[in-house]
A and B are shown apart, each in its own frame.
Chain A
Amino acid sequence: MVNLTEKELERYDRQIRIKGIGVDGQLKIKNSRVAVIGIGGLGGISSMYLVAAGVGFVKIIDFGRVELSNLNRQLLYSEEDVGKLKVEVAARKLESLNSDVTIEAVNEYVSEDNIGRLIGDVDVVVDGMDNFKTRFIINDKCVELGIPFIHGAVYSFEGRLMTIIPGETPCLRCLIPEPPPEHEIVPVIGPAPGVIGSLEALEAIKVILKIGESLKNKLLVFDGLNLEFHTIPIEKSPNCPTCSKIK
């Protein structure tokens, strides 16, 4: 394992000082590989924190272009970026945030055909999606390959968060057995994905470091309107079509 440079020791000084991280923990972060799928309200924020924390390899996957209506919450993008490919703008901004991190920008629509290739080389997958059809594709492949999957979603002033450790915790299909009807346009206030995207990055870092208590077997419901955090115990579904395939 390579050591940290003088510059890295200075850059990550405030987190290296945390009991439970230290230089060894920072090296684990440096040697980790994370995919963030969907670089919008959730994925934009979580990718910024992961890159800032020094995750060595961050793969960002999206198939959209920046729209004016993204700018109330997707803080990676500016007015001048409207119309440009999200992954290209995001990669440039993330590289300027931390040039030590390798960013791989993938401009592809996630499907059952490419998901194995897209996430097969990472340690953790972070959910930045805006629909359950794609989330289920990601969930199923993460469970199959044994890759931790940090699920996040938002609506209005609310958010949801769940950490899925294949073989150990319920998966997304245990929580939501059928894809719910998709709302074409979801109402969202910017800080809601800010909160959930930040917590997704936090959970991913904890999974990498194997410290603390991850949000396992629980769904976090963030109620921004009343400023309350609720956790709901979630159990594995005996009828889950995805989990039941794990030996």
Chain B
Amino acid sequence: MKITVKAFATFREILGQTGQLNIESPTRELDIKTLIEYLVEHLGVRFREEILDENGMVKKNVKILVNGRDIDFLNGVSTKLKDGDIVVFVPPVAGG
């Protein structure tokens, strides 16, 4: 199953300047929670600190979209992914 991960702002810098990762998952069952676990494992501590709070929950300020839809209005971190899905991480930015 192929998933495209895109990210903005501080997250983009962790993914590299293109801000995009193409992931080939060996498992057929993948949801946002397991995708984040995979990304934390591969991208390291900085990604974890950016996306998860001290309780290991996704920070409320980070928007996660699956094919343009906010997972808050899907099934949260339990939102299931399917082949070809595009997952986008949008952290807040503050500059003026």
**In the complex the two chains form, is A188's CB within 8 Å of B19's CB?**
no
Whole-angstrom distance between the Cβ of B5 and the nearest chain A Cβ: 15
Specify which chain A residues have a CB less than 8 angstroms from the CB of B12 in the assembled complex.
158, 225
Q: How large is the interface on A (under 10, 10 to 19, 20 to 34, 35 or more residues)?
A: 35 or more
Within 8 Å by CB of B96, from A152, A219, A235, lies A152
Whole-angstrom distance between the Cβ of A99 and the nearest chain B Cβ: 27
Q: Which of A129, A155, A158 counts the most chain B CB atoms within 10 A?
A: A155
Specify which chain B residues have a CB less than 8 angstroms from the CB of A160 in the assembled complex.
92-93
Question: Given A156-B9, A223-B8, do A180 and B94 touch, yes or no (CB 8 Å)?
Answer: yes
Residue-wise, chain B 84-96 has the 8 Å CB interface mask toward A (1 for contact) of 0000101111111
Within 8 Å by CB of B95, from A43, A178, A186, A235, lies A186
A166 at interface by CB-CB < 8 Å: no
Within 8 A of A (CB), among B21-79: 59-61, 63, 65, 68-70, 72-73
**In the complex the two chains form, is B94's CB within 8 Å of A193's CB?**
no
Whole-angstrom distance between the Cβ of B60 and the nearest chain A Cβ: 4
Main secondary structure of the interface of A (DSSP, over half): mixed
How distant is the Cα of A177 from the Cα of B70 in the complex, in angstroms?
A: 15
A147 at interface by CB-CB < 8 Å: no
Residue-wise, chain A 127-165 has the 8 Å CB interface mask toward B (1 for contact) of 111111001000000000000000011111011100000
**In the complex the two chains form, is A158's CB within 8 Å of B93's CB?**
yes
**In the complex the two chains form, is B63's CB within 8 Å of A153's CB?**
no
**In the complex the two chains form, is A132's CB within 8 Å of B94's CB?**
yes
Can you report 12 A-B residue pairs in the complex whose CB atoms are below 8 A from each other?
A: A129-B96, A130-B96, A131-B94, A132-B92, A158-B93, A180-B61, A180-B91, A183-B95, A186-B95, A187-B95, A221-B90, A234-B70
